[in-house]
């Protein structure tokens, strides 16, 4: 059940942060939302805009605040950061946003007294790891959105290709939220049937080459949206809202969130995304699925890629 009094803070009131606040308001996910931004006027304006629609949505407390308002938050969401500029590498972006996240984390630890910290800012794997280490919280108390959005993009594209309801499509994207992510075809099911079994039917019109096409479309989806409209924020807002709901209701939902991994699959000291059971305490358990040898190899490549970036930013 939802706590009788629940409070969520969103650090960063840009497109993503504001959209998350609006999504939570539409769903009445939480009792109290505090928006925190270095541009206080922006946070005030977003809170006002949302509040003016409450008559048609329900009673909530939505307001612009400061870091001292983090006290007693059930979830603290970090969306602040800069976007990558033309010609800028992912490493350049990582260095900038790690510096921003470090400053934010230093403020969080002053007022944090319980709850889960959810990292949304990119590069999310790097920032999830760093925030976990800076806060000194137990593994699983700091989580990232990881490949949750990638996984629902994967399910959507499969549903479109196979012409079935997306709610009957189950599958995961794991590893890095980025270039080295991988789909778990061995764990992809349509209404209980493995993807290969389901697609034995001639009516499916799904061939092996389609797998590579879909995997690539998932990987490039964010860049395609940014090219067309400048930023992505609706789907990630819905993604975060569902994560917040499972945290507040302690639903023990399985999501491919990112967290610092120490042990599963022989992976240690890196934050990547794996199917995990999450509840009000954060990560309850990281699930170890039976991967094919190809999937296991690709996962390890993804781990090494993330570690290489971490090695470049750890001393910031």
Catalytic positions are 177
User: What secondary structure does DSSP assign to 238-272, as a single string?
Assistant: HHHHHHHHHHHTT--EEE--EEEEESGGG-EEEEE
Q: Count of CB atoms within 10 A of residue 135's CB? A: 16
Backbone angles phi, psi at 100, to 5 degrees: -65, -45
- The encoded tokens of residue 36 equal 């925190």
The answer to whether the peptide bond before residue 123 is cis (omega within 30 degrees of 0) is: yes
Residues 142, 132: contact at Cβ < 8 Å? yes
Q: Find, among 131, 124, 186, 180, the residue nearest to 149 by Cα.
A: 124
């Amino acid at each position: 059940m939802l706590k009788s009094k629940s409070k969520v803070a969103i650090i960063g009131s840009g497109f993503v942060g504001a959209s998350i606040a609006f999504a939570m308001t539409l769903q009445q996910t939480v009792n109290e939302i505090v928006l925190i931004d270095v541009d206080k006027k922006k946070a005030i304006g977003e809170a006002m805009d949302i509040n003016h629609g409450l008559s048609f949505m329900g009673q909530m407390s939505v307001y612009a605040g400061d870091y001292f308002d983090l006290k007693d938050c059930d979830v603290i969401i970090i969306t602040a950061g800069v976007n990558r500029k033309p010609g800028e590498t992912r490493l350049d972006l990582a260095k900038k946003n790690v510096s921003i996240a470090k400053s934010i984390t230093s403020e969080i630890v002053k007022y944090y007294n319980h709850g889960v910290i959810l990292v949304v800012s990119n590069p999310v794997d790097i920032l999830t790891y760093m925030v976990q280490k800076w806060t000194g919280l137990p593994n699983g108390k700091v989580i990232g959105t990881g490949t949750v959005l990638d996984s629902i993009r994967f399910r959507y594209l499969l549903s479109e290709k196979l012409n079935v309801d997306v709610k009957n499509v189950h599958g995961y994207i794991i590893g890095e939220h980025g270039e080295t992510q991988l789909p778990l075809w061995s764990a992809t099911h349509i209404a209980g049937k493995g993807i290969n079994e389901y697609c034995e039917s001639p009516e499916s019109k799904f061939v092996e080459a389609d797998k590579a096409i879909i995997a690539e479309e998932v990987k490039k989806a964010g860049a395609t949206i940014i090219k067309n409209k400048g930023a992505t924020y609706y789907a990630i807002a819905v993604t975060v809202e569902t994560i917040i709901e499972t945290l507040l209701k302690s639903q023990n939902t399985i999501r491919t969130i990112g967290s610092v991994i120490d042990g599963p699959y022989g992976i240690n000291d890196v934050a990547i995304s794996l199917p995990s059971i999450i509840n009000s305490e954060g990560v309850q358990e990281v699930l170890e699925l039976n991967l094919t040898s190809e999937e296991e190899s690709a996962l390890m490549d993804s781990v090494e890629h993330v570690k290489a970036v971490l090695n470049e930013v750890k001393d910031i």
